[in-house]
């Protein structure tokens, strides 16, 4: 077994053990939450089953009961590559969000994390040709979490979506590993053009609150897009862009601004 295989097996297990441990402690501290934590976490045999149960109950309806959704989701969250991505997303949130000091918090409560994991199910459905069901899930995710991610979009692992309200990610968008995205970000097109028409966000990028990135353009590795910027042209690797329309105003102080989460910059 190589080191990559080992990490992909141990990280989800370690994250899940931490979530279980925290749930046990919270039950002691806040007994009113005991039944919720018991059903959602402690009665579940692993993180994939727990996440399937939790999301299914958030997205279910009379026409699409939770038991059906739970079974459907577990076909995705039982895949080692998917549950590894889930664990990396939780770890990213704990590492980067100053308001998060528990592994159980994003799992239970953070809609950016939950919307991203529900997208992962919709994406797998899309890839295997179940496109109506994928679009149904997209619709339910949008209603439940105020996040609209097209199921055909490609999103990597170790992604943090902070606050999440108003996030839109279009059909042909790509978000690589270790990206951080703030609220009200749009990865959109520029009109009625068809084909490959959405942004490509490379590894380690930080997208500030309200950033609008439009068209089939690349935001280079380790770049930062400042809050409320409108980006219409490609951004070089490790550049900082700001303004309407955005232009290069500096150079990132870190190779991966997504991990540092420092939105301050001084124009060069």
Burial 67-92 (b: 16+ CB within 10 A, else e): eebbebbbebbeeeebbbbbbbbbbb
Residues with Cβ < 8 Å from 94, sequence gap 6 or more? Answer: 100, 101, 102, 103, 106
Mean predicted lDDT score pLDDT of the chain: 95
How many Å apart are CA 241 and CA 251, to the nearest integer?
9
Burial class from Cβ neighbours inside 10 Å (0-12, 13-18, 19+) for residue 121 reads buried
CATH architecture of 153-268: 3 Solenoid (2.160)
pLDDT digits (tens, 9 = 90+) for 152-197: 999 999 999 999 999 999 999 999 999 999 999 999 998 888 899 9
3-class DSSP state for residue 215?
coil
Q: What is the pLDDT of residue 1?
A: 47
Domain 1-146 has CATH 1.10.3130.10: yes
Number of C-beta neighbours around residue 63 at 10 A:
7
3-class DSSP state for residue 203?
coil
Share of the chain above pLDDT 90, in %: 91
Lowest mean per-residue pLDDT among 44-48, 183-187, 190-194, 235-239: 190-194
The secondary structure element, H or E, covering residue 225 is strand 224-225
Q: What is the pLDDT of residue 8?
A: 78
State the average pLDDT over residues 115-139. Answer: 98
Q: What is the pLDDT of residue 4?
A: 60
Lowest mean per-residue pLDDT among 1-5, 100-104, 121-125: 1-5
State the average pLDDT over residues 193-206. Answer: 95
Kindly list the strands in the beta sheet with 212-214, ordered across the sheet, starting from the edge strand earlier in the chain.
147-149, 167-169, 186-188, 212-214, 230-231
Number of C-beta neighbours around residue 31 at 10 A:
9
Q: What is the pLDDT of residue 9?
A: 81
State the average pLDDT over residues 113-122. Answer: 98
**What residue spans define the domains of the chain?**
1-146, 153-268
What does the block give as tokens for 219?
A: 């935001």
**pTM of structure:** 0.95
């Amino acid at each position: 077994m190589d080191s990559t295989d080992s990490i992909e097996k141990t990280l989800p297990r370690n994250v899940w053990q931490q979530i279980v441990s925290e749930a046990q402690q919270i039950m002691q501290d806040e007994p009113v939450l005991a039944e919720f934590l018991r059903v959602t976490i402690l009665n579940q045999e692993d993180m994939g089953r727990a996440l399937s149960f939790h999301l299914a109950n958030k997205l279910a309806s009379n026409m699409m009961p939770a038991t059906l959704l739970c079974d459907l989701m577990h076909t995705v969250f039982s895949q080692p590559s998917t549950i590894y991505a889930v664990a990396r997303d939780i770890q990213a949130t704990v590492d980067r969000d100053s308001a998060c000091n528990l592994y159980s918090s994003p799992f239970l409560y953070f809609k950016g994390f939950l919307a991203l994991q529900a997208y992962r199910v919709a994406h797998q459905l899309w890839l295997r040709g179940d496109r109506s069901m994928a679009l149904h899930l997209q619709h339910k995710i949008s209603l439940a979490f105020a996040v609209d991610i097209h199921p055909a979009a490609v999103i990597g692992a170790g992604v943090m979506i902070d606050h999440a309200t108003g996030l839109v990610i279009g059909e042909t968008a790509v978000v690589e590993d270790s990206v951080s995205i703030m609220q009200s970000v749009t990865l959109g097109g520029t009109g009625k053009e068809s084909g490959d028409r959405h942004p490509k966000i490379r590894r380690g990028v930080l997208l500030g609150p309200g950033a609008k990135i439009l068209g089939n353009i690349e935001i280079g590795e380790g770049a930062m897009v400042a809050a409320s910027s409108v980006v219409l042209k490609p951004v070089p690797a490790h550049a900082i862009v700001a303004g309407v329309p955005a232009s290069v105003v500096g150079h990132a102080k870190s190779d991966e601004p997504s991990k540092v989460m420092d939105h301050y910059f001084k124009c060069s």
